[in-house]
Protein backbone atom coordinates (compact mmCIF):
# COMPACT_ATOMS: atom_id res chain seq x y z
CA UNK A 1 0.00 0.00 0.00
CA UNK A 2 1.74 3.11 -1.11
CA UNK A 3 -1.20 5.51 -1.11
CA UNK A 4 -0.09 8.88 0.17
CA UNK A 5 -2.73 10.03 2.59
CA UNK A 6 -2.89 13.42 4.13
CA UNK A 7 -3.96 12.72 7.69
CA UNK A 8 -3.84 16.43 8.54
CA UNK A 9 -6.92 16.92 6.35
CA UNK A 10 -8.74 14.34 8.44
CA UNK A 11 -7.60 15.80 11.75
CA UNK A 12 -8.67 19.25 10.56
CA UNK A 13 -12.30 18.08 10.88
CA UNK A 14 -11.82 17.29 14.56
CA UNK A 15 -12.31 19.55 17.53
CA UNK A 16 -9.48 19.92 20.02
CA UNK A 17 -8.82 21.95 23.12
CA UNK A 18 -5.05 21.95 23.20
CA UNK A 19 -3.42 22.32 26.61
CA UNK A 20 -0.70 24.69 25.40
CA UNK A 21 2.71 24.06 26.85
CA UNK A 22 1.54 20.95 28.72
CA UNK A 23 1.68 18.00 26.31
CA UNK A 24 0.16 14.86 27.84
CA UNK A 25 2.59 12.57 26.01
CA UNK A 26 6.36 12.85 26.08
CA UNK A 27 9.29 10.94 24.68
CA UNK A 28 11.30 10.11 27.79
CA UNK A 29 14.76 9.91 26.22
CA UNK A 30 14.97 11.08 22.59
CA UNK A 31 18.40 9.43 22.29
CA UNK A 32 16.82 6.01 22.72
CA UNK A 33 14.61 6.54 19.66
CA UNK A 34 17.60 7.60 17.60
CA UNK A 35 20.09 4.99 18.74
CA UNK A 36 18.22 1.99 20.06
CA UNK A 37 14.93 1.77 18.14
CA UNK A 38 15.25 0.15 14.74
CA UNK A 39 11.63 0.09 13.65
CA UNK A 40 10.30 3.40 15.00
CA UNK A 41 6.87 1.87 14.60
CA UNK A 42 5.20 4.87 16.26
CA UNK A 43 5.95 6.87 13.10
CA UNK A 44 3.51 4.78 11.05
CA UNK A 45 1.20 3.19 13.66
CA UNK A 46 0.03 6.43 15.30
CA UNK A 47 -3.38 7.11 13.69
CA UNK A 48 -2.85 10.86 14.00
CA UNK A 49 0.75 10.85 12.73
CA UNK A 50 1.98 12.63 15.86
CA UNK A 51 5.38 10.95 15.57
CA UNK A 52 7.72 11.89 12.74
CA UNK A 53 11.05 10.38 11.69
CA UNK A 54 13.67 13.10 11.43
CA UNK A 55 16.60 13.37 9.05
CA UNK A 56 19.05 12.84 11.90
CA UNK A 57 17.53 9.44 12.69
CA UNK A 58 15.53 10.65 15.65
CA UNK A 59 11.79 10.84 16.27
CA UNK A 60 9.89 13.98 17.16
CA UNK A 61 6.48 14.13 18.79
CA UNK A 62 3.81 16.80 18.46
CA UNK A 63 0.78 15.58 20.37
CA UNK A 64 -1.69 18.34 19.41
CA UNK A 65 -3.61 16.04 17.03
CA UNK A 66 -3.59 13.08 19.42
CA UNK A 67 -6.75 10.96 19.41
CA UNK A 68 -5.87 9.54 22.86
CA UNK A 69 -5.94 5.90 21.74
CA UNK A 70 -2.85 4.75 23.66
CA UNK A 71 -1.23 2.81 20.80
CA UNK A 72 2.15 4.57 21.00
CA UNK A 73 2.59 3.66 24.65
CA UNK A 74 1.63 0.03 24.16
CA UNK A 75 3.84 -0.62 21.10
CA UNK A 76 6.89 0.93 22.76
CA UNK A 77 7.30 -2.17 24.90
CA UNK A 78 11.01 -2.81 24.44
CA UNK A 79 12.17 0.66 25.41
CA UNK A 80 9.14 2.00 27.34
CA UNK A 81 10.12 5.40 26.09
CA UNK A 82 6.67 6.96 25.94
CA UNK A 83 5.39 8.82 28.97
CA UNK A 84 1.65 8.76 28.52
CA UNK A 85 -1.10 10.39 30.57
CA UNK A 86 -4.57 11.51 29.70
CA UNK A 87 -4.76 15.29 29.11
CA UNK A 88 -5.94 17.45 31.96
CA UNK A 89 -9.72 17.43 32.41
CA UNK A 90 -11.54 19.09 29.52
CA UNK A 91 -8.48 19.20 27.25
CA UNK A 92 -7.45 17.18 24.22
CA UNK A 93 -9.74 15.68 21.60
CA UNK A 94 -13.43 16.51 21.89
CA UNK A 95 -15.42 14.09 19.80
CA UNK A 96 -18.54 15.61 18.27
CA UNK A 97 -19.86 12.24 17.17
CA UNK A 98 -17.46 9.58 18.48
Partner 1 sequence: MSEKFDVIVVGAGPSGNAAAYTAAKAGLSVLQIERGEYPGSKNVQGAILYANALEQIIPDFREDAPLERHIIEQRMWVLDEQSFVGTHFRSDDYNKPPYNRYTIIRAQFDKWFSSKVKEAGALVICETTVDSLLMDGDQVVGVRCDRQGGEVFADVVILADGVNSTLARKAGFHGEIEAKNVALAVKEILFMPQETIEARFNVKDEEGVVIEMFGKITDGLMGTGFLYTNRDSITLGVGCMLSDFKENPNRTAPYAMLEKMKAHPSIAPLIAGGEMKEYCAHLIPEGGFYAVPKVVGNGWMIVGDSGGFVNATHREGSNLAMTTGRLAAETAIAAKTAGKGFNAKALANYKAALDESFVMKDLHKYRDMPNVFHDNSQFFTTYPELVNRAAQTMLTVDGIDKKTKEKEIFSSFRKSRTLAGLAGDAFKLWRAFR
Task: Choose between 20 and 96: whose C-beta lies nearer to partner 1.
Answer: 96
* Radius of gyration of the chain from its Cα atoms, rounded to whole angstroms: 14
Pairing of strands 59-61, 51-53: antiparallel
Check residue 11 for interaction with partner 1 (CB under 8 A). yes
- At its nearest, how many Å lie between partner 1 and the CB of residue 30? 20
For residue 25, CA distances in Å to 52, 62, 93 come to: 14, 9, 13
Task: Choose between 27 and 50: whose C-beta lies nearer to partner 1.
Answer: 50
Interface segment toward partner 1; rule CB under 8 A; list 29-37, 55-63, 64-72? 64-72
Amino acid sequence: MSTVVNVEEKLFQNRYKVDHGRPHIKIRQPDLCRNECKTQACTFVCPAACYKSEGNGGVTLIADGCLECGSCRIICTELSNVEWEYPRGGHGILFKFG
